[in-house]
Amino acid sequence: MCQNDDIFSTKKSNQINELLDGISICAALGGFPSTGRGAVDEKPPSGAAPHLMEGGPNAGLAPRIWQVGALCRAIADFLDARLNPVAVRGEVCGLSRAASGHLYFSLKDPQGQLRCAMFKRASSLLGFAPREGDLVEVQGRLAVYEPRGDLQLVVESLSRAGQGAWYERFLRIKSALEAEGLFARERKRELPAMPRSIGLVTSLGAAALHDVSSALARRVPHIPVVLAPASVQGAQAVPDLVRALDSLYALARGGPVDVILLVRGGGPIEDLWAFNEEALARAVVRSPVPIVCGVGHETDVTIADFCADLRAPTPTAAAELVARPRAELLQALESAEGRWRTAMLRRLDGAGQRLDSAANRLGRPSARLSQQHRLVAQAGDGLRHAVVLRLERARGALAAQAQRRAGAFRRLLLQQQDRVHRAELRLQLLDPRLVLQRGYALLTDAQGSVITRAAQTRPGQPVRATLAEGEVDLTVAQPRLL
């Protein structure tokens, strides 16, 4: 039975202890004082061995013999009189819906588990569909299912225990910050078309870091990325995120950081809660450069999304919003070079036509005309030479820029390869085979389940020991409990 401290008061706990004591006393005396049903009138056979230990408080008294169903009903009456109704909080597990519309599931917490049944009349009134793993609060009556002798809770009402409280808190914070104008559209800024560098705030162990790095390396390998790591979940998440943002703000005020990405992967609302805290929202609002928030999946919405200059549905989408592909930039450069070349040739043609027209107007004497022709030819040669020289310089500058970008990409690629290699080494250190090589063994039963306690075994039970090299089939002699 789940005995959550928030549900069962000290009084209820005392009642449970009294119940157990009462059952023991009634069994010793041969019946429950609160009900006389189910007792068989026949006496125990003569010469039968006593059921109580000699010298005990009830020595010489034989227990009354009960019918099984009558005893189950007596226990059910006792539970109903002493405990019902009850309210229980726990996690839903083993959920199944019968064709009749009844719901059957169990409530569990770290201390115990309780079977529950919710009949069609009550389940039809639910405003949501409970799912496996939901934290819920139920109200109902404890009962004994007599055909199997199982204790169960007949649920009369069911509501969310965690999600509703999180969502209500989310709405309160959102309403307060919206009233202050932190979500106002007029304070949103446009993203830079070509940032000099990109700031990134996320966890070092998050999948979002890999997704964003891959997208940026694919689209803009020439743009440096400044990573400010921070935990994105737990009690330290908010101060870590604020500290990471402040470090990037300092760089943005005096350096080339032109846009910041605030990202993490998806999860339930409690895992994403750090991005709903007021302290982080105010830190996002005071950013000196545009911030793109990509938290969770497309359906996840946080307070930080409303405060950021732009919300992205996923971390990868956030990276793509600030990263114009390198191929597009190179294509734009080539297009600009073509337009400039065409304009220069058109200008040269116009100048040549004007020279021809002026030469025609000069007429004779031929010496002066020849002189003008030479001057025109020299000017044309000089102009063509200057144009060719400028074109060559432009090509050289473009080639040098492309070489620098390629070098930056190679350095970034080497860094990422080094990080992957270090991560691979850390994973190898976690290989369970290394533990087995130190002399330990992994015990499993006939079904392949891992045995971690001596209480899981019984004498004569076959077990299998997996060693560093090979397996050994064993038989339990006698478990020893510590």
**What's the token pair of residue 388?**
């060719």
Measured between alpha carbons, how far is residue 399 from residues 197, 204, 383, 403 in Å? 22, 36, 24, 6
Tens-digit pLDDT profile for residues 63-75: 778 888 888 888 8
Those residues with Cβ within 8 angstroms of residue 482's Cβ, 6 or more apart along the chain or in another chain: 454
Going by C-alpha positions, the residue among 88, 77, 97 that lies closest to residue 12 is 88
In which band, very low, low, confident or very high, does the pLDDT at 225 lie, cut at 50, 70 and 90? very high
Those residues with Cβ within 8 angstroms of residue 428's Cβ, 6 or more apart along the chain or in another chain: none
Per-residue pLDDT, 341: 85
Q: Is residue 81's pLDDT more than 50?
A: yes
Q: Are 225 and 198 in contact (CB under 8 A)?
A: yes
The C-alpha atoms of residue 475 and residue 457 are separated, in whole angstroms, by: 10
In which band, very low, low, confident or very high, does the pLDDT at 242 lie, cut at 50, 70 and 90? very high
The C-alpha atoms of residue 423 and residue 241 are separated, in whole angstroms, by: 24
Tens-digit pLDDT profile for residues 355-386: 878 777 765 667 677 788 889 999 989 999 99
Per-residue pLDDT, 429: 80
Percent over 70 (pLDDT), the chain = 84
Tens-digit pLDDT profile for residues 295-334: 988 878 899 999 999 999 999 999 999 887 666 777 777 8
Those residues with Cβ within 8 angstroms of residue 301's Cβ, 6 or more apart along the chain or in another chain: none
- Enclosing H/E stretch for 157: strand 150-160
Mean pLDDT value across residues 236-243: 94
Mean pLDDT value across residues 209-238: 91
Percent over 90 (pLDDT), the chain = 31
